[in-house]
Amino acid sequence: MAKFLFTAAYTPEGRRGLLKDGGSGRVDAAHKAAESVGGRVEAMYYSFGDHDVYIICDLPDNKAAAALSIAVGASGALDTKTVVLLTPEEVDQAARAAVDFRAPGA
């Protein structure tokens, strides 16, 4: 499973839904959505600022993350962004990988 961070900002329509369902109701909806694509919600937090919601999910692959993001965004209730998260071990492996790269002007 891969980890993804979803950030979301509620639209006016989404805020009305949040008032109706409450925060816990939206957490339940997030769990069901992640499970429907074969994953799970690891953590979900509400916040102040540019984003209203931060969700960390374990999902099978990029296709599952894209499907989730497209479905949520298409609802019109949230504007979302998806970030692929890497483990420290994955960064270690990337740092050891040989890359044939020439910087511009070098």
Domain boundaries, the chain: 2-96
pLDDT in tens, 58-94: 999 999 999 999 999 999 999 999 999 999 999 999 9
CATH 2.60.120.200 assigned to 2-96: no
Asked whether the predicted pLDDT for residue 106 surpasses 90, the reply is: no
pTM over 0.85: yes
As a whole number of angstroms, the distance between CA 28 and CA 17 comes to 13
Tokens at 66, concatenated: 């894209």
